[in-house]
C-alpha cells in the first residue's frame, strides 16, 4: 500500500508530539517571537520532506480556491498552510496554559452558547479539523456548569491531549478513546448526556473501524467520504446536535456554534436517506467555514483521492 492510500489513522504522528515538546520549550525560553524563529526551519523541513502531505495540501487548497474571490487565492500556498498549522499547534498549548481564555475570544453566536449553557440535557457537539478545536475544549472547562467528554479515534490523540493536561494539571479533561461504538460505550454516553454532559466528536475523518458507516457527499466541488458516526450516535441517543468551529481571524479566535438538530430521530425505513442528508448538510456547513479560514483545515490526507480510488460509487455502504 502506498502512502497516499493509507488510512489517516495509520500515518505516524509521533513526530508531531515530540516536535511540540521542543517548540513549547522554545516558547517558554524565548517567547512568541523566539518561537517563530525556531518554527521556521521546522516547518521548512517538513514541507520539503513530506511530499504526500504537501500534495494533499495543494489538492485541498486548489479546491477551496474555486470558492474564493480572486484577491484571496494568491495566499493559498502549501507553505503558508504548513506555517499556519505550526502556529495553531502552539496555540493548542497556550490555551491550556491559560494564556488564551474567555476574554481573548469572540463568540460570534452568543445566543447559541446561552442556549447550550442553560440546557438541562446534554448533546453532541460535532467539531472538525478546521481551526483550533482545543480552544473550544479548554474554554468549556472554564465554564463550571458545562461538562465535556471528547471522543478520539487514536492513541496518538489521547497521548497528545494527555500532554495538554500536563501543561495544566487542573484541567478536567475527559478523553474517551473509541475505535468501536459498543453497546457499553453507547450506554455510558447516554448516561452522560442525560446528566447534561456534552459529547465532542469530529465529523470530518473517516472512522478507524472499518465497520463504521460513511457517506459519499459533495464537498468543495467533488465527492468525499465523511463519517456518519456522529449522526448515528445522535439518532441512537435522541439528543440535540450542535456544530462548533473555532477560527483564528486577524490573530483573534472567533468561535461559531449553531444548532444542527434539536433531536435527530430516524425511523428504520428512512434511516439511510436521513443519514445521507445529515452528512451532506454537515459537509455544506464545513465547506462554508473552510471558506472563512481556508488555511486552517488541517486534514493533510488525500481526502478526495481516497474517496475515488478506495470507495465504490454507492453511498449507502460500509467503509472498506
* Residue pointed to by grid coordinates 483545515: 297
Q: What is the pLDDT of residue 313?
A: 40
Give the integer Cα–Cα distance in Å for 190 and 251: 38
Burial group, residue 58, by CB count within 10 angstroms (0-12, 13-18, 19+): middle
* Residue pointed to by grid coordinates 499556519: 84
Closest C-alpha to 92, from 135, 131, 129: 135
CA distances in angstroms from 88 to 60, 85, 171, 240, 310, listed in the order given: 18, 5, 20, 29, 31
8-state DSSP, 130: B
Closest C-alpha to 155, from 319, 6, 4, 9: 9
Q: 168-217: per-residue pLDDT in tens?
A: 555 555 777 766 666 777 888 888 888 888 888 889 876 555 445 889 99
Give the integer Cα–Cα distance in Å for 276 and 272: 6
**What is the 3-state composition of the chain as percent helix, strand, coil, each rounded to the nearest 5?**
55, 20, 30
* Residue pointed to by grid coordinates 475523518: 205
Q: What percent of the chain has pLDDT over 90?
A: 30
Give the integer Cα–Cα distance in Å for 320 and 2: 16
Collapse the DSSP code of 226 into the 3-class scheme (helix H, G, I; strand E, B; otherwise coil) and give the result: strand
- What are the mean pLDDT values of the chain's consecutive 10-residue runs (320 residues total)? 43 55 79 84 90 93 94 92 90 78 84 74 90 76 71 61 57 64 79 88 71 84 90 88 92 91 84 92 97 94 64 42
Q: Find out whether 14 and 156 touch, Cβ atoms under 8 Å.
A: yes
Amino acid at each position: 500500500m502506498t502512502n497516499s492510500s493509507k488510512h489517516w489513522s495509520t500515518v505516524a504522528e509521533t513526530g508531531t508530539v515530540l516536535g511540540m515538546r521542543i517548540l513549547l520549550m522554545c516558547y517558554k525560553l524565548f517567547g512568541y517571537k523566539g518561537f517563530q524563529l525556531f518554527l521556521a526551519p521546522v516547518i521548512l523541513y517538513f514541507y520539503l520532506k513530506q511530499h504526500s502531505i504537501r500534495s494533499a495540501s495543494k489538492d485541498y487548497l486548489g479546491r477551496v480556491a474555486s470558492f474564493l474571490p480572486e484577491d484571496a487565492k494568491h495566499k493559498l500556498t502549501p507553505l503558508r498552510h504548513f506555517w499556519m498549522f505550526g502556529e495553531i499547534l502552539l496555540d493548542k498549548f497556550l490555551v491550556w496554559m491559560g494564556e488564551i481564555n474567555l476574554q481573548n475570544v469572540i463568540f460570534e453566536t452568543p445566543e447559541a452558547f446561552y442556549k447550550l449553557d442553560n440546557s438541562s440535557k446534554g448533546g453532541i457537539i460535532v467539531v472538525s479539523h478546521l481551526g483550533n478545536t482545543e480552544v473550544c475544549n479548554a474554554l468549556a472547562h472554564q465554564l463550571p456548569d458545562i461538562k465535556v467528554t471528547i471522543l478520539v479515534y487514536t492513541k496518538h490523540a489521547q497521548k497528545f491531549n494527555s500532554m495538554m493536561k500536563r501543561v495544566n494539571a487542573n484541567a478536567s479533561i475527559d478523553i474517551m478513546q473509541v475505535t468501536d461504538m459498543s453497546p457499553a460505550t453507547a450506554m455510558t454516553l447516554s448516561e452522560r448526556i442525560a446528566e447534561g454532559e456534552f459529547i465532542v466528536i469530529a465529523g470530518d475523518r473517516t472512522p478507524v473501524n472499518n465497520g463504521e458507516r460513511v457517506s459519499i457527499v459533495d464537498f468543495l466541488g467533488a465527492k468525499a467520504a465523511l463519517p456518519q458516526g456522529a449522526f448515528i450516535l445522535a439518532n441512537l441517543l435522541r439528543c440535540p446536535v450542535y456544530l462548533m468551529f473555532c477560527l483564528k481571524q486577524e490573530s483573534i479566535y472567533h468561535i461559531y456554534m449553531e444548532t444542527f438538530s434539536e433531536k435527530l430521530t430516524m425511523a428504520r425505513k428512512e434511516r439511510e436517506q436521513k443519514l445521507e442528508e445529515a452528512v451532506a448538510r454537515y459537509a455544506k456547513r464545513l465547506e462554508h467555514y473552510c471558506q472563512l479560514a481556508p488555511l486552517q483545515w488541517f486534514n493533510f490526507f488525500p481526502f478526495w483521492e481516497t474517496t475515488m480510488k478506495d470507495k465504490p460509487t454507492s453511498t449507502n455502504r460500509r467503509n472498506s
